[in-house]
Structure 1
């Protein structure tokens, strides 16, 4: 696979590295980790195998061997040898084929995974019902969060404003964090905090009253008040947002967040089992 044009901020990403935060090394990895998992599952790869993370304008890619590819996440209207192909569908590719991305339809990060082709391999397609759970790519998204250690320090007016107003993702956003433009939020009293651990999805209140949501390349600790944390199942949705997109926040309980994550994992395991079953049946 050769990049004829590199595109904007194209890079290979896996699910990130864990176990090094005590050394100040963050996990990093793909922004939309759920899409990475699903694409690898579709091709029966290890879920953590690195995939190509793309932004628009996306790269132009030449394939140099027989392989199978799947594209998912954002919809950049993929064109293989000038013929439109589907997202979330396994596609057989011949040597010399060229993949281009014609137009940004929805979302901000598309992913490509490749596997050397095998004879009689079942070529799966991720059904529309599952895709809707994975990627809410509309202009305004609702993002659920659990309250953080310093949520109680917000004024009552700011607690109401946090859930009732619409936030705009700032142009000054990147893989480290999404800055949110809105009416400023206030603490009951000004306080000084000791730097504490933060994570992908931590919502911090900046000194100017604006929010920042930490993303894949976040630092390992920070001293701004931690208002909350975006729940795991909504992080991929937020990761598909970009500058000027609109976000609404909704607080949920820790129990609800855990139940939603368990439900998502059950659906993923069903998908994995069905692909293994069909491949095994076809091999026989």
Structure 2
């Protein structure tokens, strides 16, 4: 069975954690923008973290569920509702066949994730379910989701109807995730110095760390263009194109910054001023146009410790979710 798109959203795609190992061929990793929220969405419904999820931007789509199923919604708060009744984020939720999920109002955040138990049954491209829009590959026919699309689910052996009370269109299961530490101080982003940091003038280095930068409306999954004080280099030397990654901060010729996001190119020739630490990429992914960013320099050891702590939290969470789900089903 499946879910059906009855009203398309702005940009809803099937994504996973991305395809690795193909940068040498010019194929970027892609995948979800908020890896933390996507992994938690899968954990809450008992999936492996590598399963595909649906990434939704506001205004989001409306979905009709063609079967009883277990879902979770994580990330941004778009006031998720099932048949006009609000449902909470970061919870597992059993929904009844023919229920409609929709997102009528933006509260905060930039993108949310919907996972279903078992995962979406879509084809892989280069070992990943992620939609590559430019290549027209991966995900659901290599494109964003449109009206009347039917997204099939993988087979489930759990009888979810038994968890629904008579007359109820959904049932929220009793465990949830506390995400306070991951999204704490959302506008404060830690970075480590890039290869060309020292090419900035002393004044520009100071400006970058003391001033706020605003995300430009033209920002997208490829990169966040930032508006702020013009930054200057000591010398205007040409650079050889080199590898870049999710979170690389480049200095454009006009003195403004761009932060590369999930669909970034594989190489770039602009100065790499810094790199957003991996543990703060989820916060960055949930910022919206016109939101402010304040950069803070940290060191590699701190960046590694924060990422390790975040991964340990995810490991504990995954075990706990499986135990709770097994207990409820049994």
Report TM bin, short chain: over 0.9
1:44-83 maps to which residues of 2 (within 5 A)?
A: 44-83=46-85
Aligned equivalents of 2:325, 2:73: Cα separation in 1? 20
Cα distance, 1:131 vs structure 2: 1.4
Matched, 1:7 2:9: yes
Matched, 1:42 2:82: no
Deviations 1:53-93 (A, max 9, x none): 11111101100001011001000001101111101111111
8 A Cα contact 1:67 1:117, kept in partner: no
Deviations 1:246-274 (A, max 9, x none): 11000100000000000111111111121
Inter-CA distance 124–233: structure 2 relative to 1 (3 Å threshold):
farther
- Does the residue aligned with 2:43 lie in a helix, a strand or coil? helix
The residue that corresponds to 1:90 in the other structure is 92
- For structure 2, which runs of at least 5 residues remain unmatched after alignment? 118-155, 164-171
The residue that corresponds to 1:106 in the other structure is 108
Structure 2-normalised TM-score? 0.81
The residue that corresponds to 1:126 in the other structure is 176
Aligned equivalents of 2:66, 2:184: Cα separation in 1? 34
- Does the residue aligned with 2:101 lie in a helix, a strand or coil? strand
8 A Cα contact 2:46 2:325, kept in partner: no
- For structure 1, which runs of at least 5 residues remain unmatched after alignment? none
Cα distance, 1:155 vs structure 2: 0.6
Count of paired positions: 280
Q: Which has the higher strand share?
A: 1
Inter-CA distance 279–76: structure 2 relative to 1 (3 Å threshold):
closer
1:243-254 maps to which residues of 2 (within 5 A)?
A: 243-254=289-300
- Does the residue aligned with 1:133 lie in a helix, a strand or coil? coil
Structure 1-normalised TM-score? 0.94
8 A Cα contact 1:171 1:243, kept in partner: yes
Matched, 1:26 2:66: no
Inter-CA distance 117–243: structure 2 relative to 1 (3 Å threshold):
farther
Deviations 1:146-169 (A, max 9, x none): 111000111110111111001000
Inter-CA distance 150–29: structure 2 relative to 1 (3 Å threshold):
same
Match of 2:233 among 187, 200, 204: 187
The residue that corresponds to 1:258 in the other structure is 304
